[in-house]
Amino acid sequence: MQIVNAFNRQIVIAARPTGDAKLSDFRIIKQAVPSLRDGEVLVRNLLISMDPYQRSLMGNASSELPPIDLGQPMSGPTVAIVEQSRNGNFAIGDHVVSWSGWQQYGVTDGSDLMKVDAGAAPLSTALGVLGHTGLTAWLGVTKFMTPKPGGTFVVTAAAGSVGSVAAQIAKLRGYRVVGIAGGSEKVRYLRDELGLDEAVDYKAPGFQRQLARALPQGLDMLFENVGGSMFEALMPHFNIRAQIVINGTIAQYAHPGVSPGPNRLPELLKLVLYRFIEMRGFALPDHLASYTEFLAEVGPWVSEGGIKYSEDFVDGLENIPAAFLRLFDGRNHGKLIARVG
């Protein structure tokens, strides 16, 4: 079979940013589409995901993950269609989630591919509410927190792709849910459209006071996506036996190295000790076996409107870098996806 466009355009890492990433850290290049070896699959990306953790793949970042080599495309999830296959598990025309990243085409041995039923839900949901994003939210709320009926559940970056799903699952589980987000528009969305009990604008004056007002009974569960000073503002509100999932520290991806004092670590250890706090991170790949259970619970909620999701589309591969940078100043709203098909 002939590839219509014999070239593969890629967004590659051109430079390792210090601090925040900028446009000049990316470059768009053209590569020949490689021919397949036995067992391989060629996919053409239709939808490409942009996620905050990708900053940590650019280097000079607060991450344990090795950075991507300069000149190589950003990795990450996409929705793609199989264009060629020398792998018996995948046929031409199959829709899949792949891990081929910011490029038009990907070649893979199939181990990263997961078939998607294009008729069951919009394809974009496979990158968001019904994909890794939703699975992450669901795992955090249901697998790493034991139920506390009537408890107060706080989620930071609550209007974000993971946060908004976590908040709604927590509501469906019967918790009192307080979302934290930046800007009055996001706060309105959380309150009026997602139906959270409280939403607090961290960019507004008097944030600490608003936070205290939203947490009169303290905090029993925290789904943390931000870290940094946001986490420190929440610490005084931790209740006895509070459960904390650290899912992201977006505040710190671009800013590793030494943080100025005071040192808040001794205070956290004291809280863990005297308030019997549980705190954890988790590795999504350890829990992919739960994907079926997740889909069975969350799929119907999504199709019946019990869980709403918001998507923020950008068109064209070449517009990915600029869109990506919006993730870090709070200007995006919902799951950020590039349409490149």
Phi, psi of 340 (to 5 degrees): -130, 5
> Could you tell me the smallest distance in angstroms from the CB atom of residue 320 to a second copy?
24
The site string for a second copy over 209-238 (x = CB under 8 A, - otherwise) reads ---------------x--xx--xx------
- Residue among 1, 6, 88, 286 that touches a second copy (CB under 8 A): 286
> Could you tell me the smallest distance in angstroms from the CB atom of residue 266 to a second copy?
5
Between 64 and 117, whose beta carbon lies closer to a second copy? 64
> Could you tell me the smallest distance in angstroms from the CB atom of residue 241 to a second copy?
8
How far, in Å, CA of 158 to CA of 224, rounded? 9
Neighbours of 56 (CB within 10 A): 20
Indicate whether 289 belongs to the interface with a second copy (CB under 8 A). Answer: no
- Residue among 283, 296, 304, 305 that touches a second copy (CB under 8 A): 283
How far, in Å, CA of 154 to CA of 163, rounded? 10
Neighbours of 20 (CB within 10 A): 13
Q: Enter the tokens of residue 18.
A: 């210090």
Tell me which residue has tokens 């070239």. 7
Segment contacting a second copy by CB under 8 A, of 164-172, 193-201, 279-287, 310-318:
279-287
Q: Hey, CA dihedral for 41, 42, 47, 48, is it positive or negative?
A: positive
Nearest to 58 by CA among 34, 38, 75: 75
Q: Enter the tokens of residue 306.
A: 């019990």
Between 185 and 232, whose beta carbon lies closer to a second copy? 232
Which residues, numbered 236-275, are part of the site for a second copy (CB under 8 A)?
241, 246-249, 252, 256, 258-270, 272-275
Between 172 and 235, whose beta carbon lies closer to a second copy? 235
Instruction: Look at phi and psi of residue 27 and say left if phi exceeds 0, alpha if psi is from -120 to 50, else beta.
Output: beta
- Residue among 35, 92, 276, 306 that touches a second copy (CB under 8 A): 276
Which residues, numbered 17-76, are part of the site for a second copy (CB under 8 A)?
62-65
How far, in Å, CA of 265 to CA of 282, rounded? 21
Between 115 and 287, whose beta carbon lies closer to a second copy? 287
Give the SS3 label for residue 18. coil
Instruction: Provide the binding-site residues for a second copy, judged by CB under 8 A.
Output: 62-65, 224, 227-228, 231-232, 241, 246-249, 252, 256, 258-270, 272-283, 286
